[in-house]
Structure 1
């Protein structure tokens, strides 16, 4: 795919993320991408596999879902206003169409059992969970987290990243290969403080796996010029829950779920920033093929 297309659409992604409470007109977004509206819409759909309107509508509903999960005091009527819906009934219909239940029912659901993956085993959008089994699974997950994670609250500095965008869980290794291939001849990896990072712009709790957008990046210690699909971004300084794990790749979902449970049970609330992973080794070189990784939740 044309690298210039990706670079320009990345700028649109960032604008949409920051302005979901505003009008996001085709003309405005096409100007950000420096394309005609027709050409922009065609390229956007080619990259995201969604029309612009569908993408914006989904992101607004998913933002509402995230706020319902993480901000128990926010009123549903406030979400209608904040996210630009014309009425509560319009918002409720759109939400129920996407998640199979009303915003009120969604809020009452336990946040750890609700995920798009759960719906694969559901009927008519309603999640079927045996309560006793669920509680047993949570207890086992908490024990697993205690055994495998070293968890701390840390103030982390601002981090500059060079990154590539990847959407979905398929072909993820290609994105890691691209950023490593770019960094290697520039000797960035030779700096012991440089780390590979994966930033999650969407949550697997509320977004279908094939639509989750991620930035695969490498930390930078000095300014550098980039071109094509390699972009520059920042992780702002702040307070984070940091869980250090030494785990197999198949255990990442379990590790993230356990860390969010730890967050809730210890009275912390997720901040608006994006969670991310920091990799400290090449798992293929580990004697047990394990990743040494920090999972970071902004609070």
Structure 2
């Protein structure tokens, strides 16, 4: 069944932004990106700006700097110059100027301030907890009624090899946390029910770090496993979630508690593991067999981060 007009338009634009993220290390010109989208180069710049809310040049520049910042935070042995070259900057000086203009500090100073081994142990504003992705404002260790920190349970992190999986996804753009839960309940779950896909695994993919990307531009994909020949509709797109080596942490708890698990994995386990993030997306994996409590909303999932040797 062919896509409807709106789904076709969305699919072409998603192809463009995926192509941009996959090729940040080299020049990206208007004609090339228009060709990826199968749109006229004469009109593509205006079409992209209307869809993305920013010009093509501004979007590419922002993504180069955000990806470089994420790599500086997650790949401790990557030099500033290597980070610059990996996203298409020809010199360290040009990169440092652009980075300072975007983030307000030099790359090396920014990296030191975003060392995950120094994540805060307490969150002074619980309302700002992000429930998904790479947030660095976790609530820290549990505390006894007298205020003393109580021991956290040991982490059972498993190193696994995941196969690639075909997924249909609907993208949400905006602040993470409670709005993502509403997005699943109001838009994603009814679509999964309508297409009888609850027997497949679900995934939540946070593409951006809320401490790097402005909340109103942060991207999250709500995903469900589908057959390879599945044709999505209703604004859903289809892609392949990459396989490979991941570190997986099983979580069971309330929605407001999953941020603690993300924080502990990044703060306590990753720095001493001998691994670092690679460039595949991290995600939450919800197997069809995993528990969910309708009364308490407690749920079970695997937090999966893609890893490569240091």
Decide: shared fold, TM above 0.5. yes
Q: Distance in 1 between matches of 2:156 and 2:50?
A: 42
Look up the SS of the partner of 2:183 in the other structure.
helix
Shift of 1:21: 0.8
Would the alpha carbon gap of residues 102 and 145 (structure 1) be closer, same or farther in structure 2, given more than 3 Å must change? Answer: farther
Q: What is aligned with 1:180? A: 189
Determine if the alignment matches structure 1 residue 271 to structure 2 residue 275. no
Q: Distance in 2 between matches of 1:273 and 1:149?
A: 23
Determine if the alignment matches structure 1 residue 296 to structure 2 residue 304. yes
TM-score of the aligned structures, taking structure 2 as reference length: 0.77
Which residue, out of 65, 77, 95, partners 2:69?
65
Q: What is aligned with 2:26? A: 22
Would the alpha carbon gap of residues 61 and 224 (structure 1) be closer, same or farther in structure 2, given more than 3 Å must change? Answer: same
Which residue, out of 143, 147, 157, partners 2:153?
147
Q: Distance in 2 between matches of 1:62 and 1:169?
A: 16
Would the alpha carbon gap of residues 286 and 267 (structure 1) be closer, same or farther in structure 2, given more than 3 Å must change? Answer: farther
Q: Distance in 1 between matches of 2:202 and 2:63?
A: 27
Give the number of the structure whose residues are more often helix, by fraction.
Answer: 1
Q: What is aligned with 2:82? A: 78
Q: Distance in 1 between matches of 2:248 and 2:18?
A: 25
**Contact conserved, 2:246 with 2:304, CA < 8 A, in 1?**
yes
Determine if the alignment matches structure 1 residue 33 to structure 2 residue 37. yes
Of 248-257 and 36-45, deviating more is 36-45
Which residue, out of 172, 188, 196, partners 1:166?
172
Shift of 1:8: 1.3
Look up the SS of the partner of 1:5 in the other structure.
helix
Shift of 1:77: 2.5
Shift of 1:87: 3.1
Structure 2: 5+ residue runs without aligned partners? 126-135, 144-148
Of 273-282 and 14-23, deviating more is 273-282
Q: Distance in 1 between matches of 2:184 and 2:37?
A: 22
Q: How many residues align?
A: 276
**Contact conserved, 1:149 with 1:245, CA < 8 A, in 2?**
no
Which residue, out of 220, 223, 231, partners 1:217?
223
Would the alpha carbon gap of residues 15 and 145 (structure 1) be closer, same or farther in structure 2, given more than 3 Å must change? Answer: farther
Find runs of 4+ consecutive structure 1 residues off by over 6 angstroms: none
Query: In angstroms, what is the RMSD of aligned CA positions?
Result: 3.1
**Contact conserved, 2:251 with 2:258, CA < 8 A, in 1?**
no
Q: What is aligned with 2:207? A: 201
Which residue, out of 42, 45, 63, partners 2:46?
42
Q: How does 1:213-252 map to 2 (within 5 A)?
A: 213-221=219-227, 223-227=229-233, 229-252=235-258
Which residue, out of 101, 105, 108, partners 2:105?
101
TM-score of the aligned structures, taking structure 1 as reference length: 0.80
Shift of 1:176: 5.7
Shift of 1:47: 3.2
Q: Distance in 2 between matches of 1:72 and 1:37?
A: 40
Shift of 1:298: 0.8
Structure 1: 5+ residue runs without aligned partners? 121-133
Q: Distance in 1 between matches of 2:84 and 2:194?
A: 49
